[in-house]
Structure 1
Amino acid sequence: METKKVWLVTGASKGLGLTLVKKLLDNGYRVAATSRNAQSLVEAIGGESDSFLPLEVSLTDNDAVEAAVKKIISHFGKLDVVVNNAGYGQLGTLEELTDAETRENFDVNVFAPLNVIRNVMPYLRAQKSGNIFNIASVGGLFGSFPGWGVYCSTKFAMAGFTEALAEEAKEFGIHATVVYPGYFRTDFLKSSSLRTPKSPIQEYEAARQSEQAHLQDINGNQPNDPEKAADVLIAISEQEKPPVHLLLGSDAYGMLKNKIDIITNDAEQWKEYTVSTGY
């Protein structure tokens, strides 16, 4: 009987990450999960066992990530599926967010998953198989949300490096997928999870309205079920040829179509200028 795959899920103490880990364990997979506080994983899921390895890791520290990956290989003997799920939302216009606020969002949402990729790839290359899921956001393909520019740009970055990774890794039998979730009913939009600007500028009325809408109206009323998202990720991981781009939610699909229309209309309206630059 084939032994079930070993998964690594980052940011697993709450939200989609926690839902996915529980579902994986219920279905007989072996799972390593990371959080900034290992005790939160133990309380939510359980202690270390033959099937579960909770890890306290600062993902922005490459040495810490390297050590964690070595622990996973030592514990399970292999690694098959990697889910870069850790990240957080940062509200604020480009003007009002400080350099420190902006860089921290990029550190967690962009450079941390790059640390994970850098350290898991040698093992996946050696076994010539594996899946890497990078959990972006619908904000990684449609950025026209006032007050979400920095966050969306981190997710655009994730989409870009996943496309490159898919090309770099395919010769080793490794698949990379960027996942664009729409609005899922997790704690992502709770005030305890979503960061707001330290020095808001009240003149940005649209950004303030968006901020309040997400914290008060959308939070708790998101149309998508994280349990079903976990089911999709597990199903995709078993596909022979998984997609490079995976949208989750009918709202995500609608935003993609909207983005395509916007780009196409701009391209056609300004085509005369676009094609005028050749020698």
Structure 2
Amino acid sequence: MADARVWLITGASRGLGRASAETALAGGDRVVAAARNVEPLEELTEEYPDRLVPLPLDVTDRRAVFDEVEQAVARFGRLDVVVNNAGGMLYGMVEEATEEQIRAHLDVNFFGAVWVTQAVLPYLRAQGGGRLLQITSMGTGGGMATVGYYGAGKAALDSVSEALAMEVEGFGIKVTTVQMGGYNTGLFTVGTTTTEPLAQYQPLRTEMEALWGDAVAPEPGTAVPVIMELAALPDPPRRLIVGSQSFDHVLDIHQARVGLYRSWEHLSRLAPG
């Protein structure tokens, strides 16, 4: 199994992380599967006892992240693909969220991803390369009512990851921001914290709930072939939208934004900067 890659996947107990771990293992690779609760991984561990290491990890604990990454490298000797996938949802209006909710949310979705990134980079740099897949969202191009903080955290990770890609490319490390569309990952159920609703926002909340609709999102396993191909490409893109409908939606958003800029170009150009 000389060509087997070593994966580190955060948020590996469910959703995209779990599906990616299963596919990597089925393909003969080795996986360090990190999650706050690794009990859901027991069956998978029994199936692949020599190639799967379940790693209890709270990504908000920076010291623990560095310690556990060190253990992961010691277990398999290297890291080839890191999937920075752990995350959650804070659902509610901007005004409704408490300070505790906002800080806890960004601790996972932004700072947690940064801690994992900082922890793995010395090993990837020392071995002369590796892949870092930063899982963000197709919604990072602009905020949307009820999910503003989720978009903010993912947009921050987008921006940091784009800078990171420039910084580490010379070391052979390839970084891709993976802008996921809507998949049935459990994000809106077990992964959601909800604000205390204010009555003043109920009409908009009802409108947004109708917009989300009752459509059943595709299973995360349907997106895994994209993850696998990204991990194998010799020269992967720095960012990629995952999902056909999401691709169209993101293009529509960008085109509308260009139209808005153009319509107010005369005001923008009044300033010399």
> Normalization by structure 1: what TM-score?
0.92
Q: Which position in structure 1 is the counterpart of 2:255? A: 261
Give the number of equivalent residue pairs.
Answer: 272
| Matching residue of 1:96 | 96
CA deviations 1:227-252 (Å, max 9, x no partner) are 23111111111111101111111121
The C-alpha deviation readout for 1:158-197, integer Å capped at 9, x for no partner, is 110110111011010101111111111332222x322211
Question: How do 1:192-271 and structure 2 match up within 5 A?
Answer: 192-197=190-195, 199-204=196-201, 205-211=203-209, 214=212, 217-218=214-215, 221-222=216-217, 224-271=218-265
Deviations 1:115-174 (A, max 9, x none): 00111000001111111011111122242x211111111111111011011101101010
The more displaced of 150-159 and 250-259 is 250-259
Which amino acid in 2 is paired with 1:155? Answer: K
Q: What does 1:158-177 align with in structure 2 at a 5 Å threshold?
A: 158-177=157-176
SS class of match (1:277): coil
Q: Which stretch shows the higher mean deviation, 102-111 or 268-277?
A: 268-277
RMSD over equivalenced CA pairs, Å: 1.8
Q: 1:244 to 1:113 in 2, by over 3 A?
A: same
Task: Indicate conservation of the 8 Å contact 2:25/2:48, yes or no.
Answer: no
How far off its partner does 1:23 sit? Answer: 0.8
Q: C-alpha distance in 1, partners of 2:141/2:89?
A: 15
| Residues 47-105 of structure 1, C-alpha deviations (whole Å, 9 max, x = no match) | 88331110001111111111111111111000011001000111111101111111111
TM value normalised by structure 2: 0.94
Gaps of 5+ in 2: none
In structure 1, give the amino acid aligned to 2:35: S
What amino acid maps onto 1:70 in structure 2? E
Q: CA deviation at 1:112?
A: 0.3
Q: Which 5+ residue runs of structure 1 have no aligned equivalent?
A: none
Q: For 1:7-35, what per-residue CA distance to the aligned partner results, in whole angstroms no more than 9, with x for missing partners?
A: 00000111111111011100001100111
The sequence identity of aligned pairs, in percent, is 33
2:61, 2:209 → 1: CA distance?
Answer: 31
- 2: CA distance between counterparts of 1:228 and 1:260? 26
Structural mapping, 1:172-191, within 5 Å:
172-190=171-189
Listed one character per residue, the Cα deviations across residues 181-232 of structure 1 (whole Å, up to 9, x for unaligned) are: 1111332222x322211x2112212234434765x724xx01x342231111
